[in-house]
Amino acid sequence: MREYAFFLGCIAPNRYPGAESASYKTAEKLGIKLLDLEGASCCPAPGAFGSIDLNVWYAMAARNLVLAEQMKKDIALICNGCYKSIWEVNHKLKHHKELREGVNEVLKGIDMEFKGTIDVWHLAELFYDPAIVGVQKIRDSVKVPLTGTRIAVHYGCHLMKPRKERHFGTTEHPTWMEEMVAALGAEPVEYRNKMLCCGAGGGVRGYDLVHSLDITNEKMINLMEAKVDALTEVCPFCQLQFDRGQIEIQEKFGVSYNLPVLHYCELLGLAQGMTPQELALDLHGISCEPFLKKVL
Amino acid sequence: MAEKKTKKEPAAKKETKKAAAKAAAPATAAPAASPEKALGKDARVGVYICHCGTNIAGSVDIPAVQEYVKTLPNVAHVDNYQYMCSTPGQKKIEDDIKEHKLTGIVVAACSPRLHEPTFRTATKTGGLNPFRFEMANIREQGSWVHMHDREGATSKAKDAIRIAVAKASLLQDLVPKSVPVEKAAMVVGAGVAGMQAALDLANAGIKTYLIEKNPTIGGRMSQLDKTFPTLDCSQCILTPKMVDVGRNPNIELMTYAEVAEVEGYIGNFDVTIRRKARGVLTPAEAEAKGIVGGGCNGCGDCDAVCPVIKPNPFEMGMKPRKAIYIYHPQVVPLIYTVDFDSCVKCGLCVEACGDKKAIDLEMKDELVKVKVGTAVLALGYEMFPIEKKEEWGYKKYENVVNSLEFERLICASGPTGGHLVRPSDGKTPMKVAFLLCAGSRDNTGVGKPYCSRFCCMYSLKHAHQIIEKIPGCQPYLFYMDIRSFGKMYEEFYYRIQDEGAKFMRGRVANVLEDPVTKNLIINAEDTLLNRPINLEVDMVVLAAAVQPSEDTDRTRKLFGVSKSMDGWLLEAHPKLNPCGTTTAGVFLAGVCQGPKDIPDTVASAEGAASAASIPIHMGEVELEPYFAQCIEEKCAGCGMCVNLCPYQALSLVEKDGRKVMQVTEAKCKGCGTCGGFCPGGAIWMQHFATPQIVAQIDAFLLGGEQ
Amino acid sequence: MAEKEWKPQILGIICNWCSYAGADLAGSARTQYPPDIRIVRVMCTGRVDPLFIMKAFIDGADGVLVSGCHFGDCHYLEGNYKAAKRMFILKSLLKNIGLEDKRLRMTFVSASEGAKWAVVVKDVVDTVTSLGPSPLKEFGH
Ligand SMILES: Cc1cc2nc3c(=O)[nH]c(=O)nc-3n(C[C@H](O)[C@H](O)[C@H](O)COP(=O)(O)OP(=O)(O)OC[C@H]3O[C@@H](n4cnc5c(N)ncnc54)[C@H](O)[C@@H]3O)c2cc1C
Ligand code: SF4
Ligand code: SF4
Ligand code: FES
């Protein structure tokens, strides 16, 4: 069993606890043990912190990284915003001596030092990597195939971009998450402008809600056009925007879509036989019932 | 070189006490045989420190340096001047040589790559051998790189001069070798640049070999429909030039050929050309084979019967050709070519050709050797594979084309007879978006960081063409800046605005396809209005970046030409010698040096041709005499150097009953690879001899102040 | 001398066609780098006799940089390959006599890489500075 320090983030435990429990349980079935990262703080959010004071962003993320360094474990996480902060700060501090020295100067105050001894992974990429888990193992772990459902994928910007700094190859036409959806027995569905932003990230949601909902609404239109039963993603913040955002869209624009939105770990949990209660699906803004009816 | 043969004892140069004490050095001894001279005996060096206005004086304390230099051994005279390269500056050197009986000159100034020739001439005018000059680079590698470190720059300048004086004390008289220049030139690549260069050379009376890898000359320009800003038809202005090239008695045209090997140096390049088997004989070749009145006359009877169909690269693959083909009807030379990669050797064409007996399906590649004095590279460009910028969907969505495909689609002689249609359904597009800077000015690491320079202008031209040809058709141009810098270009830009083209400043985020209509949806931001744009159009044209053509790297290496960071060929000086290269006798024309439109391409071609004709008209050139010499007493005859020399300049010969190495000066290029190796120190590299270099090292590290 | 900050003495032997031109380009572009290097120009790195380098170390050099054209770009076809081979052998020799082989460095800087030249020099100066004065210095003086 491979062990990783699990960086929870803020949104999953507070808004979608099912995504949290699903991560522990599904990963375990796939040979990954997620260990609690005691004392972790907010990643901190790349838009909210990074666009105001980079040094604070570096220092806080570095503190989280040092906690994992002390455990001598790589970090696994389930949120694209966390990925941007934790992965990118790790990468930057490892490669820029001056930056590292500056951050360590700050960390000295709490008796910590960033050493650059660990790596950071999104749980989804660990799931996809055949050297770690791989699509075949996912397929083998399925007990309740999601047969007969049409599921669209949202990758999320912070995971995939900027391309120069990421390692996923194509940022325009990725299909690896679709493969992981197909492994659950569902039909992955392509839709127009798949790589469009959810609308929330980069501080847009906080700064101008209507504008951010505009973008979400456009995504919803494209998704409805593709006649999907559910949308899946790997980021609780995207999830929040798509899920609770639909309610806000209803309030502000007067249109309702009622499209269930599930974190990939929740979807995987369902397919591995977890119950909707275990996954706390009733805490979603948009009811998952129509989707559950199709699969259970 | 056959002067005094006196035998002198080692290291005649009186080094400083310090240095002399340390002369446990390897091979500091002067060679004992032919190349040997009374090294440095009674050397009297004159040192001149240049201010270069404030370029040097701004960061180097010149009076302090001057005082310091006075303390160096062998320095007989020191002076400084505002601009040493000016006439009064040079005059100082000329006069002082006599007055102070100088035996060596050091100028501490800019780079020897800039002014070594200038000061060598001054040294010569003053009555000394020009090779008794040495330069200390205290500008490019001194004041300019330590601008805010006066102390560091000053101390570096002192050291640089001390090192230069050490070498100047040991310099010898050398005689440059004069070699005759072959009265012939070569031009590689027959686009508009190569054609122009070849015509200029030929018209100056020089026999010119024009080498083109394609079956026809003309290059990219022959694929264009019209040319900005005058809008004259590209073929109409190019075809007469192509015909001139074909007919010029001084031009020997070799199409479907490439350079296989280059040997020699300026004045005497031995070039081997591979003439690829084209399977078809010209009338002249047929006659040589005794086929009277035969050879290909371009009738096309073979084309009619050939069963193999392939895409025609000239038409960007949008029109078919046969396995035996010509690119288009105006090709020069008008000779068919067999594509042996796809030919099935059915022989139908041979039959159709009949008595002309032009087709030989067993033809093989042929190597031809020619000798030329100078060469011009005009290798042109190719389109950047814009599918790498995935966000715009090229090669994914049918109605996204690149600009060169657009040229063929709008060209009257193109695959659609000049009717612009959508590749997906053959319908006339009524809304066309042009994406400028597609892959150019791109710092994402996918595209090219440079500006491709002609895309703005040809996109304006394209907008004009659709407005003119398709009433009601609306062009949209997405741009970063419109760079309309040439003569009458800005006026052309205004004209296209007035004609109704719409301009949106902003880079396109992505292009999406409506799977049903195959229309394209453009997502962008109008950065002038601060508004997102969602625009549905019928067709997208990507003004793709350009990059050096495929074979450029191999070809440039054959000629010893470097490339810039961006891959284009490196000129000798970006401003003052844009056509020259660091290889004497090799010049650059057209886009291969960097993107240029046709007017600039032709101008650069004329420049290159003129530069390439100078050595030929001079009749001879002087080579720097940095040859290797054998110190026979020390040579053990091991022969290791013989294999090391990349130019086969060395051999072992019998002398007085033993084997010694011998140098063929005409072949030696003076790299010093042999001299850097010889275990016995038996190779004397003129001007870079071991004692001279060791003296430099000693001067640096052991000092030498008196 | 001790009170003054110690500065390394570094010899650069560089080829005329690429690295020297690259160093000149750094100058034209006014790219600043530390002044602790002195240059001897040769036509090609192939000319670099290992004895030059040994002589420099015997004379007390703290570091030696040999810089030429990129592989395949040597003005004389393959001088830099031969130089590189010699440098490998020389480095192991240096180790054998107890001198850190990091004091000898071979790099490839083309005529268009002015910025790279500045980076290389800075790096060599930093490396040699962190190694401190050459142990051969005392032996020589
Ligand atoms: C879409 C488009 C539209 C344009 N419109 C205009 C316009 O309206 N007006 C304008 O002024 N400019 C225009 N240009 C620019 C114009 O095409 C160039 O300025 C011009 O073609 C450059 O000519 P060249 O001879 O340098 O290169 P090329 O035309 O590329 O010619 C190079 C030649 O060398 C040959 N070659 C290459 N490598 C080798 C080798 N190793 N051995 C032997 N032969 C070799 C090639 O086959 C080719 O024939 C346009 C360019 C594009 C892409
Ligand atoms: S022999 Fe080759 S070129 Fe001739 S007709 Fe047959 S396929 Fe075509
Ligand atoms: S210097 Fe030596 S190796 Fe170089 S070309 Fe001359 S003989 Fe050959
Ligand atoms: S000429 Fe630069 S390494 Fe040979």
**Nearest of B250, B187, B194, B203 to residue B222 by alpha carbon:** B194
Tell me the β-bridge partners of A34. Answer: A4
pLDDT tens across B506-532, in order? 999 999 999 899 999 999 999 999 988
Determine whether the interchain pair B444/A192 forms a contact, defined as Cβ–Cβ distance below 8 Å: no
In angstroms, rounded to a whole number, what is the distance separating the alpha carbons of residues B251 and C43?
36
For the record, the structure tokens of B220 come out as 């990219």
Higher-scoring residue by pLDDT: A206, B23: A206
Residue B29: band (very low, low, confident or very high) from pLDDT cuts 50, 70, 90: very low
Please report the pLDDT score of residue A215 as a whole number: 94
DSSP B207: E
Q: Is the pLDDT of residue B14 over 60?
A: no
pLDDT (average), residues B289-308: 94
Report the 10 Å Cβ neighbour count for B412.
Answer: 12
State mean pLDDT over B110-114: 94
The whole-angstrom distance between residue B639's C-alpha and the CA centroid of its chain comes to 36
Higher pLDDT, B5 or B663: B663
Query: Residue range B237-257: average pLDDT?
Result: 97
Query: Nearest CA to CA, how far is B297 from chain C (Å)?
Result: 43
Phi-psi region of B332 (alpha: psi -120 to 50; beta: other; left: phi over 0): beta
Q: What is the ipTM of this complex?
A: 0.96
Note whether B606 and B196 are within 8 A (CB): yes
Over 80: is that where the pLDDT of B313 sits?
A: yes
All domains of chain A in start order, with CATH = 2-123 (1.20.1050.140), 141-295 (3.40.50.11810)
Residue B379 backbone phi and psi in degrees, to 5? -85, -10
CB of B516 within 8 Å of a chain A CB? The answer is no
**Identity of the residue numbered B400:** V
**pTM higher than the cut 0.90:** no
Put simply, whether A172 touches B (Cβ < 8 Å) is yes
For the residues B256-278, what does the mean pLDDT come to? 96
pLDDT confidence tier of residue A52, bands split at 50, 70 and 90? confident
Residues of A in contact with B523 (CB under 8 A): 193, 196
Yes or no, beta carbons of A163 and B512 under 8 Å apart? no
**Å from C103 to nearest chain B CA?**
15
B628 CA from centroid of ligand 4 (Å):
16
The pLDDT value given to residue B11? 40
The total of other beta-carbon atoms located within 10 Å of residue B333's CB is 18
Closest residue in A to B513 (Cα) is A192
Q: How many CB atoms lie within 10 A of CB B480?
A: 15
Cβ-contact B371, B184 below 8 angstroms? yes
* Among the bound ligands, the one closest to the CA of B310: 2
C interface mutation test: which of B555, B557, B570, B701 has the most C CBs within 10 A?
A: B701
d(CA C16, CA C43): 5
Rounded (10°) angle between helices B87-99 and B112-125 = 50
What is residue C139's predicted lDDT score, i.e. its pLDDT?
66
B354-372 residue pLDDT tens: 999 999 999 999 999 999 9
Residue with token string 């011998």:
B662
Task: Check pLDDT > 80 for residue B24.
Answer: no
Task: Mean pLDDT check: name the lowest of B253-257, B284-288, B405-409.
Answer: B284-288
> Which residue reads 């033809």 in tokens?
B363
**SS3 at position B520:** strand
Q: Are B457 and B229 in contact (CB under 8 A)?
A: yes
Whether B246 has a pLDDT exceeding 60, the answer reads yes
Radius of gyration of chain A (CA): 19
> Quick check: B27 pLDDT over 70?
no
Q: Which of these ranges, A2-6, B28-32, B291-295, B559-563, has the smallest mean pLDDT? A: B28-32
Structure tokens at B530: 């601060």
Mutate which of B348, B350, B351, B357 for ligand 2 pocket (most atoms within 8 A of beta carbon): B348
> What is chain A's length?
296
Contacts of A125 by beta carbon, 8 Å cutoff, 6+ apart: A168
With a pLDDT cut of 70, the percent of chain B lying above it is 94
Give contacts of B152 with chain C, Cβ < 8 Å: 34-36
Give the Å distance between the CA of B446 and the centre of ligand 1: 23
Question: Band of the pLDDT at B381, cuts 50, 70, 90?
Answer: very high
Can the peptide bond before residue C50 be classed as cis, meaning omega within 30 degrees of 0? no
Pairwise CB contact (< 8 Å): B570 & C112: yes
Work out the burial of residue B229: count CB atoms within 10 Å of its CB; fewer than 13 is exposed, 13-18 middle, 19 or more buried.
buried
Q: Do A193 and B510 touch (CB under 8 A)?
A: yes
C35–B152 C-beta distance less than 8 A: yes
Query: Please, are residues A270 and A279 in contact by the beta-carbon 8 Å criterion?
Result: yes
Using one digit for the tens of pLDDT, what is the confidence trace for A265-292?
A: 999 999 999 999 999 999 999 999 999 9
Residue B706 is predicted with a pLDDT of: 58
Share of chain A residues as helix, strand and coil, in percent rounded to the nearest 5: 50, 10, 35
The residue-averaged pLDDT of B117-128 equals: 96
C-alpha distances (whole Å) from B206 to each of B602, B610, B700, C129 are 19, 11, 50, 58
Helix (H) or strand (E) holding B90: helix B87-99
Contact B510/A173, CB-based, under 8 Å?
no
CA of B563 from ligand 4 middle (Å) equals 14
Quick one: pLDDT at residue B38?
Answer: 52
Task: Burial-class residue B653 by CB neighbours within 10 Å (0-12, 13-18, 19+).
Answer: exposed
CA neighbor of B588 nearest in space, from B560, B569, B603 = B569
Alpha carbon distance B47, B164 (integer Å): 9
Question: How far does Cα B215 stand from its chain's mean position?
Answer: 24
**A170: nearest CA in chain B?**
B390
* Residue from B628, B568, B616, B586 nearest B1 by CA: B628
Q: How far apart are CA A245 and CA A197, in angstroms?
A: 13
Give φ, ψ of B401 to 5 degrees: -120, 165
Residue with tokens 């490439």: B258
Cα of B362 from ligand 2 centre, angstroms? 12
Alpha-carbon distances of A281 from A20, A198, A261, A278, B511, rounded to whole Å: 12, 21, 10, 8, 36
- Per-residue pLDDT for B37 more than 70? no
Q: Whose CA is nearest to atom 6 of ligand 2?
A: B346
Chains in contact with chain B (at least 3 beta-carbon pairs closer than 8 A) = A, C
Query: Nearest 10 degrees: CA dihedral of B698, B704, C4, C7?
Result: -20
Q: Which of B160-164, B409-413, C91-95, C137-141 has the lowest mean pLDDT?
A: C137-141
Pick from B111, B94, B100: nearest CA to B77: B100
Tokens for B211? 């080498």
Per-residue b or e along B206-219, where b marks 16 or more CB atoms closer than 10 Å to that residue's CB: bbbbbbbbbbbbbb
Name the percent of chain B lying above pLDDT 90: 88
- Please list, residue by residue across A208-234, b when 16 or more beta carbons sit within 10 angstroms of its beta carbon and e when fewer do: eeeebbbbbbbbbebbeeeebbbbbbb
Both tokens of B111, joined, read 């780079």
Q: Do A162 and B391 touch (CB under 8 A)?
A: no
Specify the pLDDT at position C3: 53
Q: Which positions ≥6 away from C118 have C-beta within 8 Å?
A: B145, C26, C31, C32, C33
Cα(B302) to centroid(ligand 2), Å: 8
Q: Which residues of B521-533 are buried (b: 16+ CB within 10 A; e: fewer)?
A: bbbbbeeeeeeeb
| Residues framing ligand 2 (Cβ under 6 A) | B 302, 305-306, 308, 322-324, 338, 343-349, 361
Given a cut of 90, whether residue C5 has pLDDT beyond it is no
CB pairs under 8 A between B and C: 168
**Local structure of residue B471 (DSSP, 8 states):** T
Give the pair of three-digit tokens for residue B650.
């060395």
User: Residue A22: its pLDDT value, please?
Assistant: 97
Give the span between the Cα atoms of A33 and A27, in whole angstroms: 7
Dihedral sign (CA B625, B631, B635, B637): positive
- Find chain B residues with C-beta within 8 A of A166's C-beta: none
Cα gap A28→A34, rounded to integer Å: 8
pLDDT at position B79 is 97
* pLDDT per residue as tens digits for the range A22-49: 999 999 999 999 999 999 999 999 888 8
Please compute, for residue B523, the number of CA atoms within 13 A of its CA located in the half-sphere on the CB side: 16
- pLDDT computed for residue B36 by the predictor: 52
Mutating which of B386, B387, B391 best tests the A interface, going by the most A Cβ atoms within 10 A?
A: B391
Indicate if the pLDDT at residue B119 is higher than 80. yes
Q: Decide: residue C71, CB within 10 A, 0-12 exposed, 13-18 middle, 19+ buried.
A: exposed
Residue C47 C-alpha to ligand 3 middle, in angstroms? 9
Using DSSP's 3-state secondary structure scheme, residue B310 falls into strand
pLDDT at residue number C26: 96
Backbone angles phi, psi at B508, to 5 degrees: -75, 125
Average pLDDT of every residue of chain B? 93
C69: Cβ contacts below 8 Å, ≥ 6 apart: B562, C15, C17, C18, C19, C45, C75, C80, C108, C110
Whole-Å CA distances, B252 to A289, B208, B589:
81, 6, 19
Q: Which candidate, B39, B250, B161, places its Cα nearest to that of B687?
A: B39
- Cα Rg of chain B, angstroms: 32
The reply to whether ligand 1 has any atom less than 6 angstroms from the CB of B675 is no
- Across B576-601, average pLDDT: 96
In angstroms, rounded to a whole number, what is the distance separating the alpha carbons of residues B664 and B642? Answer: 11
Q: Which ligand is nearest to the CA of C44?
A: 4
pLDDT for residue B31 = 42
